[in-house]
Structures are given as C-alpha cells and as structure tokens.
Structure 1
Amino acid sequence: MTPFKTNALKYNLDRKAIAKKYDVFLVKKDAKRFNRGTMCLDVPLMEKRVCAVRFDCENTFYVLMDKGDGNKTLLLNALKQTDEIDKICIPSVRISDVNDRTLIQLLLNTLGTSSNERLRINNLTGHLYCYKSDWLKKNAKEGLIEQVSCLEILVTKDLCLNISVRTFTSGKCKNQIIFSPKHPYESYPKYVLSRFQTMARKPKNSTEEEFIQRQKFHNKYNIPFLNIGKDKESFESSKMGVVADIIQRFNDRFGDLAHLDFDEISEYKSLERTRACINEDKSIRTAALDGMNIRIIDLVKENSGEYCTKAQEVVENLCGIKPTIGVNKSKDGLNICVVLEKEKYKDVEDPYSKNYDATVQHITIGGDFKNKSAQLKSVLNELVIKHDVRNKKLSLYDWTKTGFQNDVSFGMKFDLDDENEKQIYCFVTIHPNGSFDFVKKDPTDLFDYDDYTKCTEIFAGNDDVCGIVMNHKGEINVIRNTDWFTIPEIFKIREEYEKERVHEFRSKVGREEFLPGVTDIKMFEKDGSIYYFVGTVGLGMQTSVANAANIRRIEPYDDAPIFFEQLLPLMNVDFVHNERLTVRPFPFKYLTEWARMNFDLKE
C-alpha cells in the first residue's frame, strides 16, 4: 500500500535563526478596515529591506524585513506615501509571537522576487501570485491581452496549502462583467501588466491599459489541477506543477531556517473502479432505457434540423433506441430539448425556466459533434435519473447490493431563490427494494418534531455540512467539507520528466507510484476521525485531471456508530457525472433533482 499525500503542511521553523535574519512588523489600522485596494499593502515593497507583505484581515497586515536598525522608521516613511498613515500604528512584534500560519505565509511571499522565464511570481496586495504565459488570454482579432490569470498560494488557518485561480480582466472588457451598485467598476483597485508579465499597481497618472481582479460573466478561467502529458511543460503549467516549483524554491532558499513538505496517509481502504464495474453499470443503463420512448424536441426551429438529425444518430448509437424528432414533448417518455445558449433568452420566453410536466433535459445547439457523444450520454443519464425521481424507483443501480435490510435516508439543505433567503431541508428515504420517498422540512415547522427535524438541527449554523445519512434506527453520519485535498507525488513526477524515456504515469504500476492520492475512492482514519475522498477513475484515465480530490470528514452524530463505509460503492458510479465518479453517495443527486423539480432554488 503506497502512502498518499494531502495538502496539510508538514514543516519545520527555526524561529531563533529566523529572528536573527529578519524583523517582522504588524501594521494595524485603528477601528476601521483599510480602504478597498489600499496602497498600504504595496508601498512597503518599494523599500529594499522589505522582503514580504502578508495581508492578515480587515485592519491588519504583516511586513517581513531584512534584519537592520531603523527598520520601523523606514516602514513608517514608506507608509507616509499613502493617505491612511494618520490612522496606522505599528506595535512591536517578536517572531516568536507570530503564529505558524502567518510566518510560513510571510516566508512564502518572499518568493515574489524569485521569478524566471518559466514561472513568474510576485507579492501583490499582501498575496502571493504565480503567473505563466500559457494562462494569458488574448483577443482573437487584435491579439491584445484581455485577461491575466494566475494562481494564488495561500496557507489556510488549518495549515493547509490552498491554490486558487485569480483573474485580472482588462477595463476594455468591463461591459462583460456584472457589477453591483455597491461596488461599481470605479471602486475596484486598478492594475497594469508589468514588463515581467505580472500584475502591478497602476501608478497614479499612468495611461497604461488597466485591469481589475474580476472574471468575465459566465467565463471562469480554469487551470488544470494536474497534467501528466508527454512533456514536462504540460506538468509545469498545471496547479501541481506550480506547487512543486514553489515548494522546491522555498526549501532551496531557506535551507535549515524553514522547510515545507506535505503530510502523508499510509493506512487506508481503497475502492477501485474496475472493468467489471464499468460493464455492469453499462448493462444496467441499457436495461433502464429498454422500451423507453425518447424524443428530440426542437425548440430552436431555425437551421436546427440537421443538428437534430445528427443527435438522433448519436443517441441511437449510444443506446440502440432511435429517438423521434418533434416539437411536442412526450409526457411518458424522455425528452431531449434542443435550445440556444441561455443568454439568448433574455428578452423572450425562456425554455429553461418552464415547469414541464414531463421528463426533460436540455442540450445546447452548436459545437463540434465529435464531443456530442459524451454530452448526449450524460443527457441520457440525466433523463433516466429524472424519470426515476418521478416514478420513485431506482433503475440505474441495484440497491440490494448495498446489503441494507432497512430504510436509509439522505438529507441536504437548499437555499430558495427568494427575497427572504429562505432555506429548506429535503430528505430522500430509500427502501430495501430500491423504491424511495421524499420529504421536505421547513425551519418554521416548530411543532412537528421527528427524526428529520433532528437532522435539520445539524445543518443550522454549519456551512461545512454537505449532507447527512440516517439509518432506520435514527443514527446519523454527517458529511463535512474540509480544507484538505490530496496531492500526487509531485516531486517524483518532476524527477521522472528529467529521464529520457516514456513516462508510464497512467499504467497500473505508475498510478500506484505517482498517483495514489489522485485515483479511485479511499477512506482513512486520522486523529480519531474518519475521512474519505473520491479521485479520478484510474482505469483508462486521461493525462489531464481538472480538479483536486477534496477530502471530506464523516462525523457521527450523538454517539452514533459510523456506517458510512457501507456507502462507498454508492460513489463508484458514473451516471451522476459522465465517466467520472460522484463525490457523495448518488442518492444526493436524486434528492437534488427532486428539489429542483419542486422548488425555485438559488443557483
């Protein structure tokens, strides 16, 4: 069993040695928070002795300086260039009093001066940003840079390393960004693209093109979590490639003063998605669709006939059933509705918002039909799930395989899309024969106390609760989100790319050596708590992994036993996310679909 790593930091800090080399200062603003985009966070870095700035909270930040007399005076003089100096105080702070999170982040932020052609880094507004040329987005017509995406490297309060995509968008694209009356475009700090192709604060009288830190509407930029393609450049342009580079630079720079690594989990239970699982699920899906009436509904009606005909052929190849094409839905069958992009329905009747009394799934017209097979396969899965929800009976999974001889309930909290920001709690109870029922509980149901009401109390004030599971005895296991995610063997992968040979990362042996924290479903115990994660399917995996495998904690409620291990196979299915595993037991998907069918939920 190969250990896998998580993003929980394992570190050494020689505080005495660090104190001999550096001074640290806490800059604090009395009572009020710093102004939005305050220059106070950036002007200190103009001083040669200033190594790093770390934004702490609304009214405080830390400054790390090379050891020297008069550092406080130098810092004060730098801050006098801002209009907030009269409200600032700089109390003395010893490095021994600085918490581990802040000290590690300050040391990381010093890497803002260690850029090279492959990876450029800067310490901007108290944050650490990493840039690559691959992440620049240019205008197709003029070739001008419209967006600059980067990765922020952040140490969380739980001492985990977090990686987030941040995007700076040109002011020329502000009509593609939605602003609130409280925060119009003018209120955002302005940045310019420096000659190093990193973002920098815009000088007061500069006429350079300006950027703000915002995404375009419905146009989020994604950087793959991991890419293990043929060349090392593909790896280096992924999040994990950047993390490997950052950690290596940190350890090289600080030597014995400070060292970073990642925590390891050596004991765990694993559930692999085998060829037998895939074939069984395929057979069950074929049986679920057998005899179904599938109809393609053309809601575009202009230049859409050829598209519908091609979609008809693809569906027939996928499931052996040739759909009919029409404009009226089938109440008893499965309806694939061909529509335009959602934005095209701003001023006309929106087919997305119709409350159909039939089983319906939309597909957007256009695009390359090479990719439509996977999309239509996903559409068929969605239709069968919705059909199951209407009929209150599972057809995509043999529930008897779970071994549950009694009812099992799954519960979630949903936000309603209304002015009062009301919340509801919904539950699905699955019976031993695979049939199920739904229940909705309202927080105002004060005089209707039952096991479901007990479940709603778990959600109150706990935003990290993403679901609960209750057995027939009323015993509850709570699923909680954490800041944890798994890390592949990034340093071994870097070394492997230096060897002149074909890299077998995705073979069974390669997955075991390089990717134990990326593939399949694993459950483990740490510090008395039970955790699990759902990775990518190892068998036949692609070279690019889009997202990290987030780790979730299973918590017994009120001294209940943990029975969640019995539910692990409920995530080893690909009908929730086409050809990907689902991160929670699949009944939560059924519950979500029922809630969407019956309530106006906030997206």
Structure 2
Amino acid sequence: MQITTNKMLAEFDIGAINRDFAFLRIRRQDKGKNWYGAQLLDRLLREGFNAAAVLYRYSAYAYVMFKKPVDTYALLERIRSHSAFREFEDGAVEPCAARASKDEENGAVCGAWLLQILFNSLASSRSEKYPELHFSNLTGSLVLIENTGRRTADSLQGAEIIVTNGFLLHIPVHRYRKRASILRELKHVTDEKRRKTLDNILERPQYAVHGGRGVLRRVFDDDTESKDNAKLYIRCGEYRKRASVPFLDFSGRERFAASRAGIYQRFLERVRDELAAYVKITLVPKEPSEVRAFSGWKMNKPGYLDELAEGDAFHIADRIGNAASGKLAAGLKKTFSRVCAHTPVTEGKEDRPDALNFRIVHNAPWYEEHGEHDEYLPFEGVAVRQHLTLEEMLDEKESLSLPAVRTIIKEALIKRDLQRGRITLFDWTALRFPDEWIFGIAGETRGMGKKREVLDARFMIVKPDGAFEMKRVPARIGLEDEYQRYILTMQEALATDWTKDRVFEGLVARNGSVNCIYRSEEITLPDLDGIARILDEAGDELPEGKKTGSELAALLVKFQKGIALSAEGKHSGRIESLKRTLLDRDTETITKKELRRNINEHLGKTGMLPQAFRRYLLDEHGIRLVFPRSRESVERLLPALCEIKYFEEGKNRACYFVGEKGQGIKRTVKSACHIREVEAVEGSDLLFRDILPTMDVDFVRTGQSTVVPFVFKYLRERK
C-alpha cells in the first residue's frame, strides 16, 4: 500500500523553458518594503507588456515571464521608460534565466520559484478542455475563483495555488469581499481592533470581475472602475468566520470538482496537459510501516458514559438567567437523562463543588459588545467546570445535537481526571509500560521566527498505573536539569520549524530519550483520478437499450430470476413495486437520478436487496449508480484518509497521520489529513511507535480520533 501526498518531485526541462520563455528580475526600490500590494507587477500583465506570468513570493525580488519571441532589450527599454518605473535605479530591472539550481550571481529563477511562475502562467491561457477552470494571476499569486462555490451577493471565494519551498502543493481558501460590504461593516463595527484591521484591509489591492469567466483582474488607481465600490473586490474574511471548502466530497461529480481534492485533481491534470513540455510533476508516495485500524470506540455506546460518571452529579449552572438560557438548560437536562440515565442532574445559578458543573454563559464577543463581566472561569484544578456558550450550543434548528452533548460530557470527565490526577477515560495500564512517560508543550513565548524564545513550559508525567503529575517549569538560563534540557529542545524546535513547512506541537520523553512532534503542511491525497473516473461513470447517462422504463423493467426481471427462491419470496413485493413504476414509464427515457430515487423508494436505500441490484447493474450491464463505499473500495481509493498510518523513515525519524474510520466513511470529508513528523533528538531512541494506541480514542474530537496523543489534550486543558 502506498500513500500519496501533496509533496511534488519536479523534473524541469530547463532547455525548453529558456527556449520558449524570457524572464526578468525586478528589485523593489522602496527601502524596507516588499512587493506585496504593488501595482507595478499587475501592470506588466497588461498595458501592452502582456507578460505570461508574474511572481512574487517574498524578499525584494519579483519575476516576470514572457513568451518568446520577444526582444528582451527593447522590452527592458519600454519598461524602464514607463511612468511606473522611471524612478527605478539602473540594474533594478534585468534579464535572467531559468536554472536547475540556485544562481545568486546571475539572479536565476529556479526551484520552487520556477515551478510557481510556470503554474502562474496557466492564468494567461484559456483552456477549451477546462472551461470552468480559469485562474487569475493576482499580484504575483495564482488564484482560482470559479468552482469553489460559496458565492454570495457581496463576496467570492478563491483557492490559491501555492508551491512551498519544500515543493508542497498547498491550496488554501480565501474570501474576496466587495469594498462596499467592507465599508458597511466598518460603519457599524464596535470592536476597535477589528476597526483597525478593516482600515488596513481597505489599503489592499482591489480587483474586479473581468469577462464572463469569473476571472479577477487588478484595478488600478486610474481605471474607470476604481471608484465603484459595488464592483471592487478585496481579499478580506468575514468577522469571526473562516472561509472553508470541504477537502473531499464524493456525493457527486460537481461536488467533488468544487472540493479542494477536486481542485487538486483538475489542477494537476491541467498541469500535465499544458506544461508537460517544461516540467514533469510526480507526487511522492510513502509506504507505511504500520497500519493501525481504529478499535471499537466505547464513548457512544449506551451506558458507557454513565459508568464513567461513577455516580457524580451533573449540575447545570445558568449564569445568564433569561428565557433562551432557560430553554437551553431544560434541553440539556432532558438530553443528559438520555445519555446518562442513572446520573442525577441538578440545576441552579451557582456552581456545586461536588458535581460536574455545566455553566451556561455568553461567548466572549457578547461580553465585549455589552461591556459586562465575562463569566468564563478557567479550570484551576479544583472545581470541574465545562462552559457552554448560548450562542454556539444550539444548532440551526435551535435544538441540541446528541453528539454535542456527548462531547461536553467527555470534556467534563477530562477535567475530573485532571482534578483527581489519574487517567480514567483510557486504560493506561493496558499499554504495560514499565516506566514513566513525560509529555511537554511550550507555554508562554515571545518573539517570532528564529528569535522566538520559550519563557516556560508545561509537562505531564504519566506513571505506569495511569496516575499523573502536572508541572509548569520556567525557563532558567544556566540550569541543566532534566526539564531545562526539554525546554532547550523546545526552543531549538520553535526557532527552526518555520523554515521547514511545519509547526512544533510538543515532545514526548522516556528514560532520557526525547522525540519532538511537528505538524507539517504535507497532506495525504486519495486516488484523485480514480475518484474522478468513478464519479464520471456514476454521472453518465444510461446506455442505449437500457434507458427506458420498459428496458429497465426487463433488467429487473432478469435480476429477479437470478436470486435465490427463498430471497425472491421475501423481496417479491418490493421488486414488483419497482417493476410497476418502471413499466408505467414504458418508452420514456429515465435518468440515473430518477432510477436511483426509484430504487431507494421501492427497494430501500440500504440493505442486501438494493445493494445486490446495484451490483447486478454494474457487473452485468456496466451501469454504475453510486460511488462505492465498501471496504474494498475504501482500501483502493481512500487509504490516504483512513485509520492511523505510521511511516518509519530512518533510525531517528518517522511520520504518521490520523484519518477517518474506514468503515462507514461519510461522503464528505471536512479536512485533509496532515502528516505529522516525529524526530528523535540527538542521542535519543525513536519512541513514538509505542504510543500510537493513545490516538485511538474518541473523547478528544467529536466522532473522530485525536491527531496527537490524547495526553496533550490534558496538558492544554490545565492552563
């Protein structure tokens, strides 16, 4: 089994690139400023220059690519004489070439920068094969606006195509809002911090929709559209809302195309079609050393939370005291009784020191807006409190969801473990560790990048019997005890992780060996082309001779004759019902959507009979109706999204990811699986494989496993 990720291997044909393209390098003249927001780059895409692509990533340099034939020296003269460039120094705009490796002396464009500018050039072509996949080269970046969905009257959503320095293909999603919408928000905003943010955002580059393809184009100060706030778009998020697109949706071809996985699939397909003469892209595969299928999680089994509560009462403390909070309290009490039938539930305004307290409060923005004291109380290790914000607890129907209630009970039980100093939600003794384990995270830090400094750290020491101790340790220069060595390791990890497309998350230690855990930007990718192919098959029209009501009824009769006599009698009523419906349509053409609906109505959505009929249509007649979610299909198409997979990559380095449960995987996967890197510090053994079972739990994330050992959840809860 091989797992593919978004890490690319790029094989450039440097000769072909330099044969067909000319490159310029431009040095920014404003001291202390970079190219972000500058109009100069976008002007080179228009105004008679007609660059194939522009690129800006960081630093003082930007690059421009032109299709040959082009007179480079005449082009340089035109640029230097343009009003926007007249104040540039001699040598600020100079020709350069593509190179396989870095060439500081000649200012070559190479590596990830070269790949990015080739990708950016896709915005200058209009593909007939991909009419809906049109990109915008905006201020040196590549953005897809069409097909990500989430359009509103006041905003668009765009997916940016980024090549990191480590050759990861990264596709974040951003929202572009109309300037008029931002001005309306600014007029009514009360949060001073948000006001300053919006003032700065209004200084960002402005874009307008160009043509009928949904392409955005930079609007300059002297353009006629520049004063129409209803037509200008600026990259700006909505207050306290994140732009989002599901990572994978295989409920249909269009939904797949609009998901981030679908964007990956079609973008890479277009790169293969249009840039094959210049670069060959291969996604780097990984071979897992261990696959750990999730065990049968217990948390949602009837009575299990009751057992864990051990007779402790649930106490609802309504700190708001209005009709809405009273309704929430009543709903909680009712749902608690469903989930934990034998656990007593009490109500009041104040907390109970002898119970698990569920405090109903407002969220932080409400208290800020109304100028009232925030009722949130941090957990200090004594009273068990779980805060429930009125604004977030109720769903769209203003009712409580059962999974949400189970989650808050689990959260309260974690706090009770912290109060007692013993793990009860997981059987630590089953791991049979003879020694203590130490888990650590950085606490307060200051500075950024390589100057980031750890001021203190938090540690949890877990004994073989599941008892544990918490420690907060300040950083002390000059001391060389065990915990100061751990803090120094954190310091070194935080100072360098930003250079490697990753973020330090914590460390684990045993018997002097230390392993650091990093969340990387490398994500796992399912079989994108295989998913697209199957969804295409499921979306195709029914074949000739098998598309009218009577023709499909004849197929149903053949299927009926092929099943066992005992089964035929059991199912004959449902089969006859479907047959009559099909015969009623006689010579009318039936679509796959209609056939799926008829099968669901008469044979059922799930069960052996509808499954057998769908399998018969596929195996005997080549008619695919649905995307398969059988164990075999999941293992073939979606192994990169399922279970825990661990990859040992040497004596001192490993990585892993935590995915979904393969059995019963949903048709929509919200988030990608990030590869987490594990490194043993110098002189240490690689320990992490021993604690893989600590991620096979369902009490950290609702309905999902945790992506780091659950002990880190305990550490984060204890401030």
TM-score, structure 1 length as denominator?
A: 0.90
Contact 1:44-1:75 at 8 Å conserved across structures: no
Please tell me whether the aligned partners of residues 511 and 538 of structure 1 are also in contact (alpha carbons under 8 angstroms). Answer: yes
What is the identity, as a one-letter code, of the residue corresponding to 2:243?
Y
CA contact 2:35–2:56 (8 Å) conserved in 1: no
Q: Hey, what does 1:462 align to over in structure 2?
A: 493
Superposed, 1:206-355 pairs within 5 Å as 206-209=226-229, 210-229=232-251, 231-274=252-295, 276-278=296-298, 285-303=305-323, 304-320=325-341, 321-346=343-368, 347-353=371-377
Gapped runs of 5+ residues in structure 2? 100-107, 495-502, 539-623
Aligned counterpart for 1:151 among listed residues 143, 159, 163: 159
Residues in 2 aligned to 1:497 and 1:80: alpha-carbon distance in whole angstroms: 54
- C-alpha distance 117-363 of structure 1, shift in aligned 2 (>3 A): farther
Structure 1 residues 422, 352: closer, same or farther in 2, change over 3 A? farther
Moved more, 70-79 or 234-243: 70-79
Alpha-carbon distance, 1:33 to partner: 2.9
Structure with the largest fraction of strand: 1
Retained in 2: the 8 A contact 1:41–1:53?
A: yes
Amino acid at match of 1:91: E
Q: Secondary structure at the match of 2:194?
A: coil
The code of the aligned residue for 2:215 comes to T
What's the CA shift string for 1:273-294, capped at 9, x where partnerless? 13x3447987764422131210
Residue aligning to 1:440: 472
Could you tell me how far 1:57 is from its partner in structure 2? 1.7
**Structure 1 pair 437–355 and aligned structure 2 pair: CA distance change class (3 A):** closer
Deviation at 1:117, TM superposition (A): 5.1
**Do the aligned residues in 2 keep the contact of 1:504 with 1:510 (CA within 8 Å)?**
no
Partner secondary structure for residue 240 of structure 2: coil
1:361: which partner in 2? 386
- 2:223 counterpart of 1:203: no
- 1:489 pairs with 2:527: yes
Q: Of 513, 521, 541, which residue of structure 1 is paired with 2:644?
A: 521
Give the match for residue 449 of structure 1: 480
- Alignment of 1:506 with 2:629, yes or no, is yes
Q: How much has 1:437 moved relative to structure 2?
A: 0.3
Q: Percent identity?
A: 23
Aligned residue for 2:544?
A: none
| Equivalent residue letter for 1:480 | Y
Cα distance change on mapping 1:590 and 1:567 into 2, 3 Å: same
2:660 matched residue in structure 1: 536
- Bigger drift between 556-565 and 29-38 goes to 29-38
Which amino acid in 2 is paired with 1:486? T
Deviations 1:140-166 (Å, cap 9, x if unpaired)?
A: xxxxx2222211111111111111112
Q: Does the 8 A contact of 2:429 with 2:464 survive in 1?
A: yes
Deviates more, 1:398-407 or 1:40-49: 40-49
Partner amino acid for 1:507?
S
Whether 2:407 is the aligned partner of 1:378: answer yes
Alpha carbons 1:56, 1:62 under 8 Å: kept: no
Please state how far the C-alpha of 1:185 moved relative to its aligned partner. Answer: 4.2
Q: Which residue of 1 aligns with 2:5?
A: 6
**Deviations along 1:59-108, whole A, 9 cap, x unmatched?**
11111111123235336535755645423612331222432211211111
| 2:512 corresponds to | 474
Tell whether the 8 Å contact from 2:657 to 2:675 is kept in structure 1 after alignment. Answer: yes
Does structure 2 retain, via aligned residues, the 8 Å contact 1:392–1:436? yes
Q: Which shows bigger deviation, 253-262 or 409-418? A: 409-418
Are 1:524 and 1:530, in contact at CA under 8 Å, matched by a contact in 2? yes
SS in 2 for 1:167: strand
Specify whether residues 511 and 487 from structure 1 end up closer, same or farther in structure 2 by C-alpha distance, changes over 3 A only. Answer: same
Name the aligned partner's letter for residue 473 of structure 2.
Answer: K
- Cα distance, 1:577 vs structure 2: 0.6
In the alignment, residue 475 of structure 1 is paired with which amino acid?
A: S
How far apart are the structure 2 equivalents of 1:591 and 1:577? 15
CA deviation vs aligned residue, 1:234-281 (integer Å, no higher than 9, x gap) = 11111110111111111111234322231111343111113x344798
The answer to which of 100-109 and 313-322 deviates more is 313-322
Matched, 1:41 2:26: no
Aligned match of 2:618: none
| CA shift in 2, pair 1:323/1:80, >3 Å | farther
For these two proteins, the number of residue pairs brought into alignment is 583
1:398 pairs with 427, 442, 455, which one? 427
The yes-or-no answer on 1:126 pairing with 2:135 is no
- The separation in 1 between residues aligned to 2:4 and 2:303, in whole angstroms, is 36
- Aligned partner of residue 388 in structure 2, secondary structure: strand
Task: Give secondary structure in 2 for the equivalent of 1:114.
Answer: coil
Q: 2:408, 2:677 → 1: CA distance?
A: 31
Query: 1:111 is matched with which residue?
Result: 122
Measure the CA separation in 2 of the matches of 1:125 and 1:179. Answer: 25
CA distance in 1, matches of 2:625, 2:647: 33
Distance across 2 between alignment mates of 1:488 and 1:442: 44
Q: Which moved more, 1:77-86 or 1:198-207?
A: 77-86
Partner of 2:524, secondary structure, is strand
Q: Determine whether 1:591 maps to 2:591.
A: no
Residues 168 and 79 from structure 1, CA distance in 2 versus in 1: closer, same or farther, beyond 3 angstroms?
farther
Q: 1:389 aligns with which of 418, 434, 448?
A: 418
Q: 1:78 to 1:124 in 2, by over 3 A?
A: farther
Give the helix-richer structure, 1 or 2: 2
Q: Which has the larger radius of gyration?
A: 2
* Matches for 1:9-20 after TM superposition, within 5 Å: 9-20=8-19
Q: Greater CA deviation, 319-328 or 340-349?
A: 319-328
C-alpha change, 1:477 and 1:306, in structure 2 (3 Å) is same
Which deviates the most, 373-382 or 125-134? Answer: 125-134
Query: Aligned equivalents of 2:301 and 2:402: distance in 1?
Result: 18
Counterpart Cα distance in 1 of 2:713 and 2:301: 17
Offset from partner CA, 1:511-552 (integer Å, 9 cap, x none): 111111111111113366311111122222221111111111
Q: Distance in 2 between matches of 1:78 and 1:371?
A: 63
SS in 1 for 2:718: helix
Aligned equivalents of 1:80 and 1:396: distance in 2?
72
1:53 CA drift (Å)? 1.0
Q: Distance in 2 between matches of 1:99 and 1:118?
A: 30
Look up the SS of the partner of 2:87 in the other structure.
Answer: helix
Secondary structure of residue in 2 paired with 1:92? strand
C-alpha contact (below 8 Å) 1:43/1:81 kept by paired residues: no
Deviations 1:18-47 (A, max 9, x none): 221111221122454346510122111114
3-state DSSP of counterpart to 1:25: strand
Contact 1:281–1:396, Cα closer than 8 Å, also in 2? no
